[in-house]
């Protein structure tokens, strides 16, 4: 029987974005390398048919019901276009470096030589497969469910063993993606592919030694970069179904000169500007549309109640059932969890006695999710200058939902210098010229973010609002105090980054108390993310803390007293709060740190480090440096406000080095 190379016995696959999709193998079909047609038919790719690409966006853009399956095939198609465009030397360099770095690559390319097959063609076949598989670790409604479901210990262990290094800091999608490839159910459809080489191509940026390999970073930019195969598909696919398109992906490909370790170099700025402008429009108009964000919030509220509210144990059991869908998710549960299964479970809860186990807030969220009620509205709120603190006694109505957009505050839409221009007209300038240096579009500025309204939170409220709680909300809206209350109660931030890791078994080092001012919570959250990514022990009064004391003052005093080290995130607002409010929480925390830094007390001196949000000269005279044990005012360099994430990463690194060098307690590394 002749071997079938293409999925063409029922006709070719046709895509509304790219036309006829090319599924041809890059190497002869009778060689040792796996087939792309077989990979397309694999269960792990077929699962993507049951996961929407745009989540809840179809509630606002009615055509946005396309699946991640279509996107996976489109990404592979765009990868083929990129590979045809690029110089063969890039492929040769990548093959050479892979052979030196990965034993799996040496095996594959040696086998290719023995079979008389060109190694560059084999790399092409693997890269096409990696483009196809890069989304197989996606959860349904990922931006919501990704806050609830994480890979369980066994899944992480298996992936770590496969790739050869720890994966605890990887995003769940990447862990689930590699776990899907090495799952026993994938063996038949992936026959002929070395899974270690395939895994590297999908998640190679996570490998610790990749910084030493410019040729491989150049190759990986095709799969994960500013203009990669993934974005060249989803930008035009998502725009086609929603807001409309500027330009087309093939024009972007034809403008490419090369890829290097930094990113792409183009000869014509027009197509890439159209591409970036379309992507910016998608962020503002589709991904962050009110309906999309509202329903994402509802799903987070509901799933959190189901899995983390003790009263909802029967609901959690219904979810787990025989499918093993739980917050710590193994591969059985992961393969079960798709859009269809999730909505069927939610409907079953809504129609059964299980619904009475939900909190009132979660019940409202469930009802809103399963209906298309039009009796809600949304509005933006900002803090007012001089607004009085509302304290912690405000109880928000169960029918009020809100979005602080915290996870996007440090999201930079465009990485400066990542796209460059090399053309004849620029030959007398230093080229290649960074795209932003040519002054194309404000969205390429370093501080541009996709937030619809800067420094604001979005509230979702029923149109008909009555009762004492709503009167209190209205009072806070009138006084400008609601913004702070929302941030104190922000569910997304609390789920995204833990505020207290002292009991986490995988977190090490001295317990670091984080002292900060609420005005600066966006940058504080970024610092917490960095500490958590390093699995450090810390605690911050970021959320609702029970058991630390009866008042916020008691909480501050106890938190500062319990830390084995302290990190103060200072700012103009922080210094003003210390100077102007002697009974405030900042003053209480500093006073406690003064006591713990007193050398005459006979107690160990707690390490104390400062990070500055504002220029240091603006705050250096606001704190009691001698009382804190500093003979001279310490300097901490440039302020973090408005800086790229890389600056925060470096600042946290320096702070941890100082803490670790000064700490000499029981939790020393």
What average pLDDT does range 240-260 have in this prediction?
Answer: 95
Question: Per-residue pLDDT for 67 more than 80?
Answer: yes
Question: Per-residue pLDDT for 127 more than 90?
Answer: yes
- Work out the pLDDT band at 29, boundaries 50, 70, 90: low
Q: What is the pLDDT of residue 394?
A: 77
What is the C-alpha end-to-end distance of the chain, expressed in Å?
A: 63
**Where is pLDDT greater, at 515 or 321?**
515
Distance CA 63, CA 669 (A): 54
Distance CA 511, CA 506 (A): 13
What average pLDDT does range 42-66 have in this prediction?
Answer: 94
Query: What radius of gyration do the chain's Cα atoms show?
Result: 27
Which tokens belong to 108? 């594959």
Q: What is the pLDDT of residue 70?
A: 97
- Lowest-pLDDT choice from 125-129, 438-442, 463-467, 475-479: 438-442
The C-alpha angle with vertex 164 and arms to 162 and 169, in degrees rounded to 5, equals 95
- List, in sequence order, the alpha helices (H) in 213-308: 214-220, 229-240, 249-255, 269-282, 290-308
Q: What is the pLDDT of residue 296?
A: 96
Question: Per-residue pLDDT for 3 more than 70?
Answer: no
Instruction: Please say whether the structural domain 14-242 has been given the CATH code 1.10.3210.10.
Output: yes
Would you state the CATH architecture of domain 497-662? 3-Layer(aba) Sandwich (3.40)
Angle between helices 68-85 and 119-133 (to 10 degrees): 150
Residue 576, phi then psi, degrees to nearest 5? -65, -40
Q: Which residues contact 467 (CB under 8 A, 6 or more apart)?
A: 397
Q: From its phi and psi, is residue 383 left (phi > 0), alpha (psi between -120 and 50) or beta?
A: beta
Which tokens belong to 390? 């509302």
**Where is pLDDT greater, at 464 or 550?**
464
Residue 421: CB atoms within 10 A of its CB come to 23
What average pLDDT does range 518-522 have in this prediction?
Answer: 77
What average pLDDT does range 393-415 have in this prediction?
Answer: 82
Residue 594: CB atoms within 10 A of its CB come to 17
Question: Per-residue pLDDT for 559 more than 60?
Answer: yes
**Where is pLDDT greater, at 644 or 308?**
308
**Where is pLDDT greater, at 590 or 169?**
590
Ordered strands of the 256-259 beta sheet: 256-259, 264-266, 420-421, 433-434
Question: Per-residue pLDDT for 321 more than 80?
Answer: no
Question: Per-residue pLDDT for 105 more than 90?
Answer: yes
- Work out the pLDDT band at 87, boundaries 50, 70, 90: confident
What average pLDDT does range 517-523 have in this prediction?
Answer: 80
Distance CA 229, CA 129 (A): 12
- Work out the pLDDT band at 6, boundaries 50, 70, 90: very low
The answer to whether 432 touches 265, Cβ cutoff 8 Å, is: yes
The answer to whether 576 touches 567, Cβ cutoff 8 Å, is: no
What average pLDDT does range 317-332 have in this prediction?
Answer: 86
CA distances from 288 to 365, 405, 472, 524 (A): 19, 9, 28, 23
- Work out the pLDDT band at 125, boundaries 50, 70, 90: very high
Which tokens belong to 324? 């093993």
Residue 162: CB atoms within 10 A of its CB come to 15
Burial class (CB in 10 A: 0-12, 13-18, 19+), 7: middle
HEC per residue, 580-649: HCCCCHHHHHHHHHHHHCCHHHCCCCCCEEEEECCCHHHCCCCCCCCCCCCCCCCCCCCCCCCCCHHHHH
Q: Which residues contact 306 (CB under 8 A, 6 or more apart)?
A: 312, 315, 316, 319, 349, 358, 362
Does an H or E element contain 377, and which? strand 376-381
Mean pLDDT of the chain: 88
Domain residues of the chain, as ranges?
Answer: 14-242, 497-662
The C-alpha angle with vertex 576 and arms to 572 and 581, in degrees rounded to 5, equals 155
- Lowest-pLDDT choice from 170-174, 499-503, 634-638: 634-638
Q: What is the pLDDT of residue 500?
A: 87
- Work out the pLDDT band at 1, boundaries 50, 70, 90: very low
Best-predicted range by mean pLDDT (237-251, 391-405, 535-549): 237-251
Question: Per-residue pLDDT for 638 more than 90?
Answer: no
Q: What is the pLDDT of residue 230?
A: 97
**Where is pLDDT greater, at 309 or 367?**
367
CA distances from 103 to 129, 200, 206, 334, 364 (A): 19, 12, 17, 30, 54
Nearest to 252 by CA among 230, 267, 234: 267
- Work out the pLDDT band at 642, boundaries 50, 70, 90: confident
**Where is pLDDT greater, at 438 or 324?**
324
Nearest to 623 by CA among 518, 517, 528: 517
Distance CA 18, CA 12 (A): 13
Residue 136, phi then psi, degrees to nearest 5? -70, -15
Residue 84 CA from chain centroid, whole number: 31
- Work out the pLDDT band at 451, boundaries 50, 70, 90: confident
DSSP tag of 545 = -
**Beta strand ranges found along 448-540 (DSSP E):** 457-462, 508-515, 536-540
- Say what the pTM is: 0.83
pLDDT tens string 210-238: 999 999 999 999 999 999 999 999 999 99
Question: Per-residue pLDDT for 391 more than 80?
Answer: no
Q: Which residues contact 138 (CB under 8 A, 6 or more apart)?
A: 48, 51, 68, 173, 176, 177
Question: Per-residue pLDDT for 317 more than 90?
Answer: no
Nearest to 332 by CA among 205, 452, 184: 184
pLDDT tens string 169-187: 788 999 999 999 999 777 8
Distance CA 335, CA 325 (A): 9
- Work out the pLDDT band at 369, boundaries 50, 70, 90: very high
Q: What is the pLDDT of residue 440?
A: 58
Measured over the CA atoms of residue 614, residue 618, residue 622 and residue 624, the dihedral's sign is positive
What average pLDDT does range 187-194 have in this prediction?
Answer: 88
Percent of the chain with pLDDT over 90: 58
């Amino acid at each position: 029987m002749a071997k079938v190379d293409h999925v063409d016995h029922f006709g070719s696959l046709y895509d509304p974005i790219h036309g006829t999709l090319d599924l041809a193998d890059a190497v002869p079909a009778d060689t040792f390398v796996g087939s792309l047609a077989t990979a397309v038919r694999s269960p792990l790719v077929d699962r993507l048919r049951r996961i929407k690409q745009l989540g809840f966006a179809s509630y606002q853009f009615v055509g946005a019901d396309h699946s991640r399956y279509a996107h996976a095939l489109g990404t592979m198609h765009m990868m083929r276009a990129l590979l045809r465009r690029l110089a063969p030397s890039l492929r040769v360099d990548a093959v050479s470096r892979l052979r030196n770095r990965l034993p799996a690559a040496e095996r594959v390319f040696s086998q290719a030589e023995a079979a008389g097959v060109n190694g560059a063609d084999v790399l092409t076949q693997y890269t096409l497969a990696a483009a196809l598989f890069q989304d197989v670790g996606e959860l349904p409604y990922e931006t919501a469910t990704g806050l609830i479901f994480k890979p369980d210990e066994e899944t992480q262990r298996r992936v770590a063993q496969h790739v050869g290094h720890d994966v605890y800091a990887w995003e769940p999608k990447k862990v689930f993606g590699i776990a899907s490839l090495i799952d026993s159910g994938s063996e038949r459809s992936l026959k002929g592919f070395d899974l270690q080489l395939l895994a590297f191509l999908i998640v190679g940026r996570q490998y610790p030694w990749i910084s030493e390999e410019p040729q491989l970073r150049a190759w990986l930019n095709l799969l994960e970069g500013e203009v990669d195969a993934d974005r060249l598909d989803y930008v035009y696919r998502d725009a086609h179904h929603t807001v409309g398109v500027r330009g087309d992906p093939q024009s972007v490909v034809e403008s490419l000169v090369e890829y290097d370790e930094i990113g792409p170099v183009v000869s014509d700025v027009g197509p890439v500007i159209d591409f970036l402008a379309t992507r910016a429009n998608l962020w503002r108009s589709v991904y962050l549309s009110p309906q999309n964000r509202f329903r994402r919030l509802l799903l987070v509220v509901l799933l959190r109640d189901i899995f983390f509210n003790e009263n909802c144990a029967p609901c959690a059991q219904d979810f787990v059932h025989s499918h093993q869908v739980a917050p710590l998710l193994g591969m059985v549960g992961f393969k079960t969890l798709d859009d269809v299964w999730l909505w069927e479970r939610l409907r079953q809860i809504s129609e059964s006695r299980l619904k009475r186990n939900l909190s009132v807030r979660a019940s409202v969220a469930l009802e809103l999710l399963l209906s298309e009620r039009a009796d809600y509205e949304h509005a933006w709120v900002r803090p007012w200058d001089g607004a009085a603190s509302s304290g912690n006694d405000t109880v928000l109505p169960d029918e009020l939902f809100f979005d602080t957009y915290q996870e996007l505050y440090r999201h930079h839409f465009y990485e400066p210098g990542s796209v460059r221009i090399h053309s004849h007209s620029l030959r007398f300038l230093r080229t290649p010229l960074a795209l932003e240096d040519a002054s194309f579009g404000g969205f390429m500025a370093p501080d541009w973010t996709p937030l619809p309204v800067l420094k604001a939170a979005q509230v979702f409220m029923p149109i008909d609002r009555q009762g004492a709680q709503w009167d209190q909300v209205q009072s806070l809206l009138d006084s400008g105090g609601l913004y702070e209350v929302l941030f104190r109660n922000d569910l997304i931030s609390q789920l995204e980054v833990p505020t207290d890791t002292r009991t986490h078994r995988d977190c090490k080092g001295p317990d670091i108390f984080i002292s900060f001012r609420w005005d600066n919570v966006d940058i504080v959250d970024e610092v917490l993310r960095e500490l958590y990514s390093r699995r450090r022990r810390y605690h911050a009064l970021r959320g609702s803390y029970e058991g630390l004391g009866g008042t916020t003052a008691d909480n501050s005093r106890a938190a500062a007293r319990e830390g084995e080290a302290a990190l103060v995130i200072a700012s103009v607002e922080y210094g003003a709060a210390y100077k102007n409010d002697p009974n405030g929480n900042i003053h209480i925390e500093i006073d406690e740190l003064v006591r713990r830094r007193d050398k005459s007390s006979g107690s160990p001196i707690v390490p104390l480090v400062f990070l500055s949000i504002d220029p240091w000269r603006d705050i250096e005279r606001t704190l009691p440096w001698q009382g804190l044990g500093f003979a001279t005012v310490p300097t901490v360099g440039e302020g973090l406000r408005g800086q790229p994430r890389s600056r925060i990463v470096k600042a946290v690194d320096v702070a941890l080095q100082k803490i670790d060098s000064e700490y000499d307690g029981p939790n020393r590394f």
